[in-house]
A and B are shown apart, each in its own frame.
Chain A
Amino acid sequence: MSLIEISGVDFLYGNDNSDRPALQNINLQIEAGDFAVIIGSNGSGKSTLAKLLNVLLTPSQGEIFVAGLDTTNPDNTWKIRQRVGMVFQNPDNQLVASMVEDDVAFGPENLGIPTQEIRNRVDKALEMVGMAGFQKFAPHKLSGGQKQRVAIAGVIAMEPDCIVLDEPTAMLDPQGRKEVMETVQYLNKEKGITVVHITHFMEEAVNADQVIVMNQGQILHKGSPKSIFRLVEQLKDVNLDIPVAVEVAEYLRQENIDIPDILSIDELVDALC
């Protein structure tokens, strides 16, 4: 069984008067250890999907299993939230304490972990996100990228199987975005933590094992980055920004120039020169 199994899920917000559900007939499996990227423009339902994964919302129809636990069963709520950590978009609005170490400790404290063990977990988590030595810092003295990495550490300290990141880079400058992406990739590749990364930057999907394209509450495509990036025209139709290299490659292909699948500028340079 996959780590995350979503089958036939619909979701309709209670206060939403429109007829169209926020999510429609979602079927998706995410394997343990995978790096899954969900891309979609505003209003495509990608954040709603994220909230369903750690029981901040429950599906109106269909079911979701996380590590074999049914999210609609209230008894499972806290177990699932411990297994699926969530990092949000705004770095300022998810840090709780006025000291970095206290913030990272917040999750383990809620789980009732003994003091000495919390101390170990906090130091380990901060080291994993490259923020060792920042224990006593105040969050408002950190840069956006650093704050976001502290938020990731806060989730890591709960020792989850999976981290869901809901547009963690949307409010960051390019430097911060790079820091966060490197951290997430490190955690996935070196520490084997499953990552579900939600974004509207297609570049961030390049290294994924699985890319899911969402539009208007439905899954438009899923597959490897290469197979997705082939669909340049369709992606443009749903208002996604295509990385320049991918777009150039596609134009060249249309001019009957033989070119392999391209994901990054480096690959394009290699293919052309």
Chain B
Amino acid sequence: MLKDITIGQYIARDSIIHALDARIKIMITTILIIALFTIDTFTGFGFFAAFVLVVVLLSKISVKKVLKGLKPILILVLFTLFIHIFLTKGGEVLWSWRFISIESEGVYTGFFMVSRIFILILFTSLLTLTTSPLQLTDGIEYILSPLKRFGVPASELSMMMTIALRFIPTLLEEADKIMKAQQARGADFESGNLIQRAKSLIPLLVPLFISAFRRADDLALAMESRCYRGGEGRTRLHELEFRYYDFIALIIIIILAVAVSFY
């Protein structure tokens, strides 16, 4: 079961959205998030929602899969909604019982906030759905690289992320193996209350950490013997390349964002 885990939520498709440069996608997402916070009408949200729908259709990822990604935040959304409905006062009283009342202002703000959160999460999850973790890492490195001048180790950070991604499956496999080995010797990971179960993880975590450190040691040696000496002077097999449609996409988004904000 541990073996089949997918890292991130990337879904590979052959679409124009996938083909966009990772850096452009990160920039676009940032611009749209800022634009989203300048909006104060439902019409604006409607417009944004329609835009998201178009992007989803262009990405060839099924709407169902995109919506599935929203599940984990459902509780947060409902919580926000209820808090606003019951606690934000103002406008007409729609319904009241003893000291509890629902007023129109609360309902309005509640739905307003919920729409904003939904669109926000949709945008960001579209970024991770259509960009592979590797491209994202490269994109982040590029965007951070102007900060190198101020001592931000951008390429080292991206190397760290690459290695982390590489070792997630290896360490999961290892955890699985240790778990089975401990179970064979009578360890119990499944029963008991929360505290007991947390405690039973210690014999799993200790060997896992020890072996992770050992791996790190080996890997450092292997990297050194392959001439790794930090990001300085490195070239790339996959050079990120801007193509004309990357700029077209960026221009379209900027125009849209400006239009929406002033509307």
Please pick, from B162, B173, B222, the residue contacting A88 in the complex, using a CB distance under 8 A. B222
Kindly list chain B residues whose C-beta atoms are within 8 Å of the C-beta of A92.
170, 215
**B165 and A98 form a contact (CB under 8 A):** yes
**B225 and A118 form a contact (CB under 8 A):** no
Kindly list chain A residues whose C-beta atoms are within 8 Å of the C-beta of B225.
54, 56, 81, 85-86
Q: How far is the CA of A122 from the CA of B237 in the complex (A)?
A: 9
Given A112-B233, A122-B237, A139-B166, CB of A82 within 8 Å of CB of B221: no
Q: How far is the CA of A101 from the CA of B229 in the complex (A)?
A: 20
Contact string, A110-140, partner B, CB cutoff 8 A, digits 1/0?
A: 1111110011001000000000000000111
CB distance from A144 to the nearest CB of B (A): 13
CB distance from A80 to the nearest CB of B (A): 10
**B134 and A99 form a contact (CB under 8 A):** yes
**A to B contact number (C-beta, < 8 Å):** 94
Chain B residues near A (Cβ < 8 Å): 133-134, 162-163, 165-166, 169-170, 173, 214-215, 218-219, 221-229, 233-239
Kindly list chain A residues whose C-beta atoms are within 8 Å of the C-beta of B237.
101-102, 105, 108-109, 115, 118-119, 122
Determine if A30 is an interface residue (Cβ-Cβ < 8 Å).
Answer: no
**A96 and B166 form a contact (CB under 8 A):** yes
Nearest A residue to B174, CB-CB:
A92
Please pick, from A81, A88, A111, A115, the residue contacting B218 in the complex, using a CB distance under 8 A. A88
**A93 and B234 form a contact (CB under 8 A):** no
Determine if A78 is an interface residue (Cβ-Cβ < 8 Å).
Answer: yes
Q: Kindly list the 8 A-B residue pairs having the minimum CB-CB distance in the complex, ordered from nearest.
A: A93-B218, A105-B237, A94-B222, A140-B169, A110-B227, A86-B225, A98-B166, A107-B226
CB distance from A124 to the nearest CB of B (A): 13
**B224 and A56 form a contact (CB under 8 A):** yes
CB distance from A14 to the nearest CB of B (A): 16
Q: How far is the CA of A78 from the CA of B226 in the complex (A)?
A: 9
Kindly list chain B residues whose C-beta atoms are within 8 Å of the C-beta of A111.
227
- Interface residues in A9-62 (C-beta closer than 8 Å to B): 54, 56
Kindly list chain B residues whose C-beta atoms are within 8 Å of the C-beta of A54.
225
Q: How far is the CA of A109 from the CA of B227 in the complex (A)?
A: 9
**B233 and A96 form a contact (CB under 8 A):** no
**A56 and B227 form a contact (CB under 8 A):** no
Q: How far is the CA of A97 from the CA of B219 in the complex (A)?
A: 11
10 contacts between A and B (CB under 8 A): A54-B225, A81-B227, A88-B221, A93-B219, A102-B162, A106-B223, A109-B235, A110-B227, A110-B234, A119-B237
Nearest A residue to B214, CB-CB:
A93
Nearest B residue to A55, CB-CB:
B225
